């Protein structure tokens, strides 16, 4: 079968180290006029948190579709859990498709993609422990396995309640306090800067193959639940899981963005977090198809 490559011969059908991803995203920013490489900050160990902003110039958009004030922003956040490599690979796939195929969605939306949210954890999952989930912040004088917090339990929304642990060595440890992690702080600050334009927010995970809408910490539905459930017509499967302190719940509660989903990618448990590279293409294409369906029906 034909392999998929981006600029510079970067293969989209293999998993990449953090260094390779940094180099690739810098090339994206240099190669495409409509793409901008942005470092929203650095982790405790000095790794960059990268957002690629993709924004088609208004002059390239047909007059009847132009919005003189601004285009709403769609944000796609990937790699909050270190071991979920398929999430990051899917982000890179979507990024390339938007740019290479000049997606019609660029006439309506500006895209902000965060491919490796948990940069330190991602590096650790490549070098030391493939199954690592959390960040790599130091929790006192503990062993290496007790480092870090689950960034997706570290946001200030029902902090450390359902589906989160107060035990430092647990994989879903919520952290010493809300926003104790540099990564969650950086995303919070970034989202608050763009919140007036933020129109849709997707957080990509694996595994399970289902979509979840806010709120994860309660059975009480959000006010626009009918709109979110209507998206079910275009998507595969909805499910509710109990957790607290997640990025999607925080975004929903602290901005006017009401199209907010956590997306669990392939598979259903056969390979779990170690999804083989041969599944990158089908996983990424179906996830992107689902996101496009949502955006085309907003």
- What residues does 264 pair with on adjacent strands? 205, 210
Q: Is the dihedral of CA 233, 239, 242, 245 positive or negative?
A: negative
Which of 79, 155, 149, 171 is closest to 117 using CA atoms? 79
Q: Which superfamily does CATH assign the domain made up of 7-296 to?
A: Zn peptidases (3.40.630.10)
Domain residue limits, the chain: 7-296
98 and 22 Cβ atoms separated by less than 8 Å? no
pLDDT tens for the chain, 298 residues: list them. Answer: 567 888 889 999 999 999 999 999 999 999 999 999 999 999 999 999 999 999 997 666 666 655 545 799 999 999 999 999 999 999 999 999 999 998 899 999 999 999 999 999 999 999 999 999 999 998 876 777 789 999 999 999 888 887 799 989 999 999 999 999 999 999 999 999 999 999 999 999 998 888 887 765 555 555 666 666 665 545 555 555 555 688 999 999 999 998 999 999 998 888 989 999 999 999 999 999 999 999 998 8
74 and 16 Cβ atoms separated by less than 8 Å? no
> Mind telling me the catalytic residues?
264
Query: How is the chain split among helix, strand and coil, in percent rounded to 5?
Result: 35, 15, 45
Q: What pLDDT was estimated at residue 140? A: 72
246 and 153 Cβ atoms separated by less than 8 Å? yes
DSSP annotation of 268:
S
């Amino acid at each position: 079968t034909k392999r998929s490559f981006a600029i510079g011969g970067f293969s989209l059908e293999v998993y990449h180290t953090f260094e390779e991803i940094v180099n690739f995203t810098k090339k994206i920013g240099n190669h495409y006029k409509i793409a901008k490489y942005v470092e929203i900050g650095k982790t405790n160990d000095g790794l960059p948190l990268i957002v690629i902003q993709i924004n088609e110039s208004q002059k390239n958009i047909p007059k009847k579709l132009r919005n003189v004030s601004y285009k709403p922003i769609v944000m796609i956040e990937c790699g909050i859990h270190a071991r979920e490599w398929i999430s990051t690979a899917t982000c890179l796939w979507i990024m390339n498709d938007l740019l290479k195929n000049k997606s019609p969605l660029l006439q309506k939306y500006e895209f902000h993609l965060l491919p490796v949210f948990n940069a330190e954890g991602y590096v650790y999952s490549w070098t030391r422990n493939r199954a690592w989930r959390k960040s790599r912040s130091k929790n006192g004088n503990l062993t290496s396995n007790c480092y870090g917090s689950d960034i997706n339990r570290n946001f200030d929304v029902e902090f450390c309640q359902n589906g989160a642990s107060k035990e430092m060595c647990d994989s879903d440890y919520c952290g010493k306090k809300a926003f104790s992690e540099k990564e969650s702080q950086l995303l919070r600050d970034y989202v608050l800067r763009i919140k007036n334009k933020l129109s849709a927010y997707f957080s990509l995970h694996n595994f399970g193959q289902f979509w979840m809408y806010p709120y994860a910490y309660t059975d009480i539905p959000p006010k626009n639940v009918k709109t979110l459930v209507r998206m079910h017509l275009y998507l595969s499967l909805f499910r509710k899981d109990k957790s607290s302190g997640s990025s999607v719940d925080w975004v929903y509660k602290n901005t006017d963005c009401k199209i907010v989903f956590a997306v669990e990618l392939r598979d259903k448990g056969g390979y779990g977090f170690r999804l083989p590279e041969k599944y990158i293409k089908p996983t990424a294409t179906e996830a992107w198809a689902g996101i496009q369906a949502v955006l085309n029906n907003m």
